[in-house]
Structure 1
Amino acid sequence: MLVRELTEKDYIESLKLSEYAFQYKVPESEIPARLERLRNHKVLGIWDEDILAAKLHIYPLSIYMKDAEWKMGGIAGVATYPEYRRNGYVNTLMIDSLEHMRNNHQIVSLLHPFDISFYRKYGWEILNETKKVTIEKMNLRFLEPQQGFIRRFSRETHNEDIEKVYQQYSAQFTGMLKRETYWWKQHVYDKDSQMAVYYQPNKEAMGYMLYHMKDSKMEVQELVALDHEARVGLWNFICQHDSMVGTVTIHLASQDPFPYFLQHPNVKIELHPYFMARVVDAEECLRRFPFLLENEPLFLHFEDSHAPWNNGSYLLGKGDLKVFKEKVGGQCVHPPKKGIRLNINSLSAILFGYKRPIELYEMGYLKGSKPEIEIFEKKVPALKSSFIDFF
């Protein structure tokens, strides 16, 4: 089964497969722009003679790991025509994509799952959860007035103040996408979006909310605040629409303190798993990860059935990393007597801060002695994962 990277002459076939698999139709006037965007992707495909039977897109992106940037491969557009399903085509594409990403130094990968259990088989694990808050008009009650002011923008008037707020906000988390200006205009805004920015009296932007209104409903797609003043200022701006809307829906990071600080915080809250993440290159990720170094050395033994270059034993020392990959019959073998054994899913959950080592140990995902788990727990800093984009 041959996987081939698509070239420009194949892009229209890729678009046709997406339209069929995801059941939408691109207007004729928008096709040139859609095809132009594919120039920025790597599209892998499997062919049956001249028919594109299955495909997978890799977006070359970067994410923030607090104040660091890591290259990331974003998986999207995984599709197969019905007559070619259950032939192992997607399996082949998923495994092949890992090698492509590794060769391009994309050391981690993110995707939005149609089925979490499906992608877990290939090593991706839950990255974050989103919080959806629904507020009825009667609960739109103002908090104390703030000294700052609101200015509204659109895709056409988008400015760097908004990008600076997002970048500062992203540095609090692991997993947030590094957004270039083109990404804001092509992927963040839609044709109905408006942007409200909260400014302090000195004209420094401290928060924003991206929203749209339709049929007496306001949907806040993003609400980002750098401090509580901005958070309250944006909430009061929402309340200013009390004569225009009957319901407000706000999408937030799961760690956001909203609605705790409201006068009446008893509102409808829904929590959902959102994106998934995977370590593509374990050695490089471990070298870059900000482990706390004042603890004892610790062995980690990895199993990665789909990316065998990750298999091996890794010694976390005080400021250094040693890698041991003894090969027997072409397979990497892990010394079983000392250290913690874990798969790539668990490593991904730990490095992104979605789960702590002790949590995974208690659920049976980490194998090792309790003292070793406690050492690992001390080595991993407290992190919070988040992701608010979509691709």
Structure 2
Amino acid sequence: MDVVNIGEERYLEAIRLSEYAFQNRVADEQLEERLTHLKKHQQLIGIIEEDALVAKLHFLPLEVYVGDMKIKMGGIAGVATYPEFRRNGFVKEMLITILERMRSEGYSISMLYPFSVPFYRRYGWELFSNRIKATMSKSDLHFQAATEGKIRRMFNSPPIQELNDLYETYAKNYSGMLVREQDWWEKIVKDQQIAIYYDQANQPSGYIMYTVKNKTMKVEELVTLNAEAKRGIWNYICQHDSMSDDFEIITHEKEPLLFSINEPRVKLEITPYFMARIVDVELLFKTYVLNWGSDIEELVLQVSDSYAAWNDKTFVLTPNKIFIEGRDVRREKSLHLSINALSTILFGYKTPSELSEVGQVKGKREEIEKFERLLPKRAPFFYDFF
């Protein structure tokens, strides 16, 4: 089989394949918009049989924040095959092809939303973030101390540059948050209410993105840069007690707001969300900042990767250089782990010690502890979807 680039002349076929596979019909009035979006933001590869598109994969050239760093990230979406062509290895070949292409184009990592976690784990992608939905009723809404700033609700076009500046500052505290371009913002704010908190000096320091429908307030994003903005936005949510009976907030495990409310025992649904994969270990470690100290001279990682031979190596990391050896080299201080384990560790989703308890990191205890000391203390988070 040959995996080929899919040109614009077959984009309608790709949409029809998605409709069939995901059982989600694109309305006629939205079809042109969908085609334009594909042409502008995505690249497609696939497999042609008898002059028909029978399997395809969408590639999105994106970036994510890992702390202060912006790293090239290859997003994968829309992976689909018609049922009569399944179990022929088509998806496997497309994933191998896109991994090779991402490496050649300088992508360090890849992300996707899985239809099946076990399926994509097989190819090296691993969970890196959770999605938390907090559900509460109006009886849970108790005002906190008043703030000196004020909330401004945006009635028409929201100030996207202002929102992005807040989002960018917030995102640099985490691993994995998407770098959003202007048109990405325009898409996500559509049909959303936006309110921004301004401090006494009229400086923006937080925003909320939400909807209010059928007596339910759903907070899709809550971004705050300090405690004042957090209180101000929470009090703004409380002001909706006459309009809504139920409230939902999408957030993450480390958000202290839920701890600070009067009765923190609200319903929390924690769902593993996006998956990530290191595309090129050597390239990533050239930009990923480890906490080297005078007591650590090197870290030796023996990585297994069945679908990217360039990662199936022993990596000797030092404060100034990376040395790469074959996996047959045996070092006394080596830590043995898969590309999956390394991916989830570097995003901060799981620690080397946690994975060692389930046999996914193997090596001496002192080397595992050394690895943990080298890692930045940064939580993973991902708000977006593709």
Which TM-score band (shorter chain)? Answer: over 0.9
For residues 162-186 of structure 1, the C-alpha deviation after alignment (integer angstroms, 9 at most, x for no partner) is 1111000001011000001110112
The answer for the alignment partner of 1:328 in structure 2 is none
The answer for the alignment partner of 2:255 in structure 1 is 256
The answer for the alignment partner of 1:26 in structure 2 is 26
Change (3 A) 1:266 1:231: same
**Shift, 1:389, TM fit:** 0.4
Moved more, 110-119 or 243-252: 110-119
The answer for the alignment partner of 1:225 in structure 2 is 224
For residues 95-137 of structure 1, the C-alpha deviation after alignment (integer angstroms, 9 at most, x for no partner) is 2211121122111001111111111111111111121111111
For residues 238-288 of structure 1, the C-alpha deviation after alignment (integer angstroms, 9 at most, x for no partner) is 111111100000000221113111112221111111111100001011121
The answer for the alignment partner of 1:306 in structure 2 is 307
Moved more, 372-381 or 308-317: 372-381
TM-score of the superposed pair, with normalisation by structure 2: 0.96
**Shift, 1:335, TM fit:** 2.6
- Which runs of 5 or more structure 2 residues have no equivalent in the other structure? none
Partner-residue secondary structure (3-state), 2:10: helix
For residues 342-384 of structure 1, the C-alpha deviation after alignment (integer angstroms, 9 at most, x for no partner) is 1100110111111111221222111111222222222222221
* 2:333 is the alignment partner of 1:333: no
Structure 1 moving runs of 4+ over 6 Å: none
TM-score of the superposed pair, with normalisation by structure 1: 0.95
Partner-residue secondary structure (3-state), 2:362: coil
The answer for the alignment partner of 2:172 in structure 1 is 171
Partner-residue secondary structure (3-state), 2:260: coil
Aligned length: 383
The answer for the alignment partner of 1:38 in structure 2 is 38
Contact 1:352 1:385 survives alignment (8 Å): yes
Contact 1:136 1:246 survives alignment (8 Å): yes
The answer for the alignment partner of 1:113 in structure 2 is 114
**CA distance in structure 2 between the partners assigned to 1:319 and 1:337 by the alignment:** 22
Change (3 A) 1:154 1:309: farther
Partner-residue secondary structure (3-state), 2:315: strand
The answer for the alignment partner of 2:102 in structure 1 is 101
* 2:194 is the alignment partner of 1:195: yes
Contact 1:293 1:319 survives alignment (8 Å): no
Contact 2:60 2:76 survives alignment (8 Å): yes
* 2:350 is the alignment partner of 1:355: yes
Contact 1:113 1:119 survives alignment (8 Å): yes
**Shift, 1:66, TM fit:** 0.5
**CA distance in structure 2 between the partners assigned to 1:18 and 1:216 by the alignment:** 33
The answer for the alignment partner of 1:366 in structure 2 is 361
Contact 2:75 2:112 survives alignment (8 Å): yes
The answer for the alignment partner of 1:79 in structure 2 is 80
Look up the equivalent residue of 1:250 and give its one-letter code: I
**CA distance in structure 2 between the partners assigned to 1:262 and 1:375 by the alignment:** 38
* 2:16 is the alignment partner of 1:16: yes
**Shift, 1:78, TM fit:** 0.7
**Shift, 1:333, TM fit:** 3.2
Look up the equivalent residue of 2:38 and give its one-letter code: L
The answer for the alignment partner of 2:213 in structure 1 is 214
Task: Please list, as runs of the form range in 1=range in 2, the aligned pairs for 1:141-156 lying within 5 A after superposition.
Answer: 141-153=142-154, 156=157
**CA distance in structure 2 between the partners assigned to 1:197 and 1:361 by the alignment:** 44
Partner-residue secondary structure (3-state), 1:30: helix
**Shift, 1:231, TM fit:** 0.9
Partner-residue secondary structure (3-state), 2:242: coil
The answer for the alignment partner of 2:320 in structure 1 is 319
**CA distance in structure 2 between the partners assigned to 1:62 and 1:157 by the alignment:** 23
**CA distance in structure 1 between the partners assigned to 2:223 and 2:321 by the alignment:** 36
- Which runs of 5 or more structure 1 residues have no equivalent in the other structure? 326-331
Contact 1:275 1:387 survives alignment (8 Å): yes
* 2:362 is the alignment partner of 1:377: no
Look up the equivalent residue of 1:133 and give its one-letter code: A
Look up the equivalent residue of 1:92 and give its one-letter code: E
Partner-residue secondary structure (3-state), 2:258: coil
